[in-house]
Structures are given as C-alpha cells and as structure tokens.
Structure 1
Amino acid sequence: MDYLSADLQGRLEYDRLEGLLRPSTKLLVGTHASNLTGNLLDVRRMSAFAQKHGLVFLLDAAQTAGSTPIDMEEMGVHLLAFTGHKGLMGPQGTGGLCMAPGVELRPLLSGGTGVRSFEEDQPREYPEHLEAGTLNGHGLSGLGAAVDFILETGVETIHAHERSLTERFVEGLRELDGVTIYGDFSGDRAPVVALNLEGWDPASAADELSVQYDLAVRPGIHCAPRMHRALGTQDTGCLRFSFGWYTTEEDIDAALAALREMTQ
C-alpha cells in the first residue's frame, strides 16, 4: 500500500499520484475530510485520476456524510464508506458502504445471512452478499431516524451552519497570542480545527478545558499518525475542536474566552 504525502498545512501533494501508480494498482482511496485538519479532499481530481487509469475510487466519508453535500455519480465515486455516529448523528456501531453499479466485491465475512440457508456461499444478491450475521437492527433504526432529520433539515443548511461556526472560531483564534493552528483555511472544509497552545501540552490543555470550563475537546494523535508527521506534531499531538449542528455561537465564544484566559 502506498500513501500520498502532504505539506505542512496538511494539503495532499496530488502531483505525486502518478509516481505511486503500479501495474498492480486497482484501488484509489481518499479521505473526504481529514479528521485532524478538516481539509477537504479534491474529490474530482482524484476521481479523474482513477478514471484515467481504470481504478476503483473509494471515498471515505466518515467525517462528511450528513454534513457535507455528496453526490457519488456527479463526483465519480465508485464506493462511499461512512460511519453513522458523526455527521449523520446516529448511534455508534452503525455505518455503511454505498456501491456504484458494476462494482463487485468479495465478502470479508460469510455465513448467517438468514436467506439461501442451504447454500455454503454468500448470496450473490446485494446487500446480502456483504452482510453476514445479524445486523445491528436497533442501531440502524436510530440511524434511520437521524437520516430522516438530516433530510428534513437539509445537508446544505447543516453545512452552512457548521462552516459559519468554524469561521467564527478561527477568526477569534487569530486574535490570540500563543496559538498555532493547523490546516488549510483558504476554502471549504469540515468543521474541525486542530491547534496547540504555547506552554500547554494537548492533554493538560484538554483537562483544563474540561474541568475549569466544561468544554469537551479531543487531544492526542487522533488515529492520524501520518498527518501528524506531515504537520510536524508527531511528538506532541494536537488539541482538536469540532463543531456540529447543535453547537451554537455562544459555545464558540465560550471556547475562545477560555483559550484567551489560558494563553494570557
């Protein structure tokens, strides 16, 4: 497996794609938005590369499904993977894989489908072909209710709200001394902001925000070691703020006030 490198702002170096291509390459995988920097992937550029070289293009929408408009056909995405507990506002332990027509996958697990029980192989029909065992019915029911709410509210409306909050937060951060912000803020992005505070390690800062200010943030490496190496934060990690539909402007201002006190 080969990985595309990123610059100091976490922006992928797309010009290096051709150099990673091998005769055996079949799949191109891209993360729609970084869970660390919030940077959005250039989906159309990746899709065009996949089409040029006859690759299947898998888009990981864990950070964007439900809060960023996605059109698989228009974007040229063959496979779309998502989790239910983030932007889709559903229960943990839920998620899915959307497949474009003509894409064929071998099941990772087999058995216990509840249909064609005399056959030893997985059914050929989708979705049963990829669904072994008993599904998380309760979780999927909750996810369905959350999706109904999102469709009623509008993904574009949710995205605009989260984008406004992110801009408000970043503008406030730039007025503070001793704050280092990571990521590219020149265009559209996910509602995630990673930063570090001078004089604070991320874990201690997160504890201070939780205990003294009742603010929940995520410190550490965020399961993104390659991105931390690109940013130069592999030894310290970062402090990550993330915003959603139920985050308010008052929440943003409270976070900025807390950071202002911590950096004085």
Structure 2
Amino acid sequence: MIYLDNAATTLQKPPCVKEAVVRAMDTFGNASRGAHAPALDALRMLMEARIALASLFGVDDPMRVVFAPNATVALNIAISGIRGHIVTTAAEHNSVLRPIYKRGNYTIVPCDSLGCVSTEAISSAIRPDTGAVVLTHASNVTGNVFDIQSVGELCAERGLDFIVDASQSAGLLPIEMKNISALCFTGHKSLFGPQGTGGLCLGPNYRPESLYVGGSGHHSFDSKHPGELPDALEAGTQNAHGIAGLLAGVQYIQSTGLSTIHNQADTWARLFAHSLADIPGVTLYGDLAAPLRTPIVSLNIQGYDSAQVATLLFEKYGIAVRAGAHCAPLMHDGLKLSGSVRFSFSHFNTREETLFVADAVCALAASR
C-alpha cells in the first residue's frame, strides 16, 4: 500500500514512537496521583513533553503548554476564551467553524479563486467590537499556507487575541508564539504522535476557562478546580501513554530537522502536481506555485465523483487517499465543489511511489 492520507493522520511513524508507547504502557502509573516511581516517571515525562513542545513552538513557559485529546478540543477551549466579535476565514476546518457558529457574533472572510486569504482582507473585516481573529496556519484542502506572522502583527497592533489552528503545520513548518494568543495542535498528524494526543500553547496574556473540571491529583478538598496552569485546563488523568509517543515524535522532528522533513514531503507533492498539471480531465486546486506550502495536492477527475476516485485508487492500485469535503465545507463552497480527492505526502514517501500514483491518476483520467 502507498499511504497518502497524512493530512488526516500519519500512518508511518518513526520507530521510536511505537517504542515509547510500549515502554510507557509497561512502566507508567498515574501522573500526580502517587509518590511511587511509576507515577513520578509519568509526571516527569509529561514535563519533558511540555518542554519539548515549548521549544518547538517558541513558548517561553512550558507550563503554558496544555494537553488535550486533539486539536478539536484545544480549539474549543481556546475559542471559549474570546470576548467580542470574531473574524475567521472560509479556509477553516469545522473544528474552528462549529465552535464559532455555536458562539455566534462572527465574520467569515472569503477565499479567492486559489483558496487564499490576504491579511488585508482579514484587516477589513475587523470591527470596533472585534475581540479575536481565528485562523488556520495551513489549509487541509489546498495546502495553502497563511501568513500568521503578518496577521499576528495586525492583531497585536489592534489589541486583538489571535488563535491559530496549527493542525496541518505543526511538525512541518516553523512556528513562533510571538503575537499568538493560543496555538492549537494535534499530535497524530505531522508531529508523528498517536491518535488521542494534542493540545494548546497559551501566550502570556491569554487565559480561557476550562470546558470541564474534576480530578487534578491535588487540592482535593477545594470545591473549585485548581486555577494554576496547566492543571486549570487539564482535569482528569492525562493520556501519558500517548503523550510519551508524542514526545518521541517531537524528539524525532528535532533531531531530523523541520526543514528536512518538510522539504522531502514538499518535493514529492510538487513532483506529483507537476506530473498532472497538463493532463486532460484533471483539475488541481490551490496555489500550487506558492513558495511555501504543506505537502497536499487536491484534485478531481472529470467524469468521476471524488469518492469513486478514492475507491478505485485503493482497490486497483493500493493507494490510500481521502475523498469528500475534508470537514472544510466553506473552502469547497468557494471552489464550487461538492468534494475533492486529497493526496497528502510524508517524508517517508518516495519518488517511485509519487510517480506511480501520478501514473494511476493519469490512467483513471484516460479511462473516464
């Protein structure tokens, strides 16, 4: 099988990730729930993971790295802290859109024909009562990368909070927390961690309320949940076994190098897109000429529904891709699509795999 669904979850993990999870399963107790070695070992690992993630994302205080089961929970927590009107974009995943819809009082900035959004367009949507901008770092449909640096500077100038969804960029692109109020990430994509891991990094002046309260391992006689970070946003037992794998994934990234990992995957995505650029019946989406992209190529083949293409690719050629709306309905509305076929590459893929997949798409297009 050739696996090209890395934007959903990375299947090919570094071996150290599995090893770390198995080791944790054999040795970890419950962090902050005991003074014995298994509990203390788990607690130390959680702190080591906070430090590693703080280093990766440029967070000054590792205690402001908060774990959550995934980016969806992290985004719900982060968005719950916004006061006032929200500006967001049509490039967003439902993990951003649905919490904002539920909350109300928002403006959605449309994408252009390539699925891009400019800082100027975001600036124009800001109102006197705007409290925050919520923006994805990279589209999970097109691979377009949005300028979080310039938007962060805009928010700092206007006194606004800035929430960033880094689900598609964490582990691929350099990220600094400067001018970011909350950076939300998931562990199971390009951070190479297990499913069920993720979290948010908080800037020094942003503090959302927890969505849930309960056990913390200390202050047990208090009626209120502890108020200090990270405990304030981490009620209940942590997924120490999964976070051990996430830590191993982050350490792999740090030792291999972000640029090395991104450049290899980007090379295969650009080779794939270039191989299909002039094929009759194949339509590609996004700003494929942009100098900075995540390794995603989405397309449709004339005469086929996107689900048919994905099924045929797997059944005839053993190629695993994603079809449908990818939980990004407004991007598809803007591109006038009911769905698309997404090919998302990893640095574990190869040139030979890439060319084989391109040939398979060409064969389907020729047989339509």
Q: Report if TM-score (shorter chain) is over 0.5.
A: yes
The offset of 1:164, in angstroms, is: 0.9
User: For 1:48 and 1:253, how far apart are their aligned partners in 2?
Assistant: 41
Are the aligned partners of 1:62 and 1:82 in contact in 2 as well (CA < 8 Å)? yes
Specify which of 149, 173, 189 is matched with residue 293 of structure 2. 189
The structure richer in helix per residue is: 2
What does residue range 43-122 of structure 1 map to in structure 2 within 5 Å? 43-73=148-178, 76-122=179-225
Are the aligned partners of 1:8 and 1:232 in contact in 2 as well (CA < 8 Å)? no
Are the aligned partners of 1:66 and 1:150 in contact in 2 as well (CA < 8 Å)? yes
The equivalent of 1:30 in structure 2 is 135
User: For 2:130 and 2:210, how far apart are their aligned partners in 1?
Assistant: 20
What does residue range 1-264 of structure 1 map to in structure 2 within 5 Å? 1-73=106-178, 76-187=179-290, 188-233=292-337, 236-264=338-366
The offset of 1:249, in angstroms, is: 1.0
- Identity percentage of aligned residues: 42
The offset of 1:13, in angstroms, is: 4.4
The offset of 1:18, in angstroms, is: 3.7
User: For 1:101 and 1:150, how far apart are their aligned partners in 2?
Assistant: 26
- SS at 2:323's partner residue? strand
- SS at 2:275's partner residue? helix
**Aligned-partner residue type, residue 184 of structure 1:** D
User: For 1:258 and 1:174, how far apart are their aligned partners in 2?
Assistant: 14
User: For 2:257 and 2:223, how far apart are their aligned partners in 1?
Assistant: 43
User: For 1:167 and 1:102, how far apart are their aligned partners in 2?
Assistant: 39
User: For 1:2 and 1:130, how far apart are their aligned partners in 2?
Assistant: 28
**Aligned-partner residue type, residue 124 of structure 1:** G
Give ranges in structure 1 of 5+ residues lacking alignment: none
The offset of 1:219, in angstroms, is: 0.5
- SS at 1:3's partner residue? strand
The offset of 1:9, in angstroms, is: 0.9
- SS at 1:194's partner residue? strand
Give ranges in structure 2 of 5+ residues lacking alignment: 1-105
Change (3 A) 1:151 1:4: same
**Aligned-partner residue type, residue 130 of structure 1:** L
- SS at 2:107's partner residue? coil
**Aligned-partner residue type, residue 210 of structure 1:** F
User: For 2:287 and 2:156, how far apart are their aligned partners in 1?
Assistant: 27
Report the aligned-residue RMSD. 1.3
**Aligned-partner residue type, residue 163 of structure 2:** L
Give TM-score, length-normalised by structure 1: 0.95
User: For 1:70 and 1:186, how far apart are their aligned partners in 2?
Assistant: 22
The offset of 1:118, in angstroms, is: 1.3
Q: Encode CA deviations 1:90-143: one digit per residue, 9 max, x unaligned.
A: 111110101122322211111111111111222121110110111111111111
User: For 2:280 and 2:124, how far apart are their aligned partners in 1?
Assistant: 41
The offset of 1:20, in angstroms, is: 2.5
Give TM-score, length-normalised by structure 2: 0.69
The offset of 1:78, in angstroms, is: 2.2
Are the aligned partners of 1:28 and 1:58 in contact in 2 as well (CA < 8 Å)? yes
Q: Encode CA deviations 1:62-109: one digit per residue, 9 max, x unaligned.
A: 001011111223xx3221100000010111111010112232221111
After the TM superposition, which of the residue ranges 91-100 and 12-21 deviates more from structure 2? 12-21
Q: Encode CA deviations 1:155-211: one digit per residue, 9 max, x unaligned.
A: 111011111111111110113221100001222111111100011110111100000
**Aligned-partner residue type, residue 209 of structure 1:** L
- SS at 1:263's partner residue? helix
- SS at 1:227's partner residue? helix
After the TM superposition, which of the residue ranges 17-26 and 243-252 deviates more from structure 2? 17-26
